[in-house]
Amino acid sequence: GFKKDDPGTIPKSSFNEKLVFCPVSTKRGTVHMRRFVLVLTLMLFLLGPSLSRAAGLDADADGLSDLLEAKFKTDIVNPDSDSDGYPDGLEVNNGYDPLQGRGIKLKKRIEINVKTQKLQYFLGNVSMGEYVISTGKKSTPTPKGSFVVKNKLPRPKSQAYGLWMPYWLGLSAAGIGIHELPEWGKGKKESAADLGKAVSHGCIRLGVGPAKKLYDWAEVGTEVKVY
């Protein structure tokens, strides 16, 4: 042994030991990382899509969540799966196919299920999200069929009912649109407790947050299917 604060007694071998570095294969490390992320994403997916969304995992920091990476079949640890110079998230957020690399637009679509009171929106064949809604009551039912978004208005007022409809997506069905929970006089807003129930005048109502997100995402001409 050696005495504390007495360098003369420290064994010479202590000074002669060499640092040994274990070489790591970048390729092998990437493969292991990809497998780890895929397994983790699968676990989260099995536990529930809502948990995956809440976690907000984005292994390659490309702006596209790992859950959506799995749906689009993009490379979960490569921010630019098609090597076109644009991150996967940027392409998807602007409606482009993240796997083609040739500026190919994917079709946007909104589907509304009156029975379940749910709305889903799609880019190509990938569901981008699902929201609870409120459709028309029995006396003023929401019309079923295939429509398109005809116009977008930030906060129009209904002359028939005297209420404001934030984030309005007007449909090709006359007088019908998708919008946030309406606002009545003196700042009174429709209760979120009505979501999931058929209580509207025919329009499709969304909660605060989802309405703006869908408004920003949808374009004039976006297909809307109500069934």
Torsion sign across C-alpha atoms 201, 131, 146, 107? positive
**Residue 171, amino acid:** L
| Cα(149)–Cα(180) distance, integer angstroms | 15
Query: Six-digit token pair at 197?
Result: 């129930």
Query: Six-digit token pair at 85?
Result: 């110079």
Active site residue 179: yes
CB 67 within 8 A of CB 40: no
CB 180 within 8 A of CB 206: yes
| Cα(14)–Cα(226) distance, integer angstroms | 77
Catalytic residue among 22, 32, 179, 201: 179
Query: Six-digit token pair at 201?
Result: 């005048």
| 40 Cβ contact list (under 8 Å, min separation 6) | 57, 66
Catalytic residue among 22, 32, 201, 203: 203
The helix (run of H) or strand (run of E) holding residue 157 is strand 157-158
Instruction: Please list the active-site residues.
Output: 179, 203
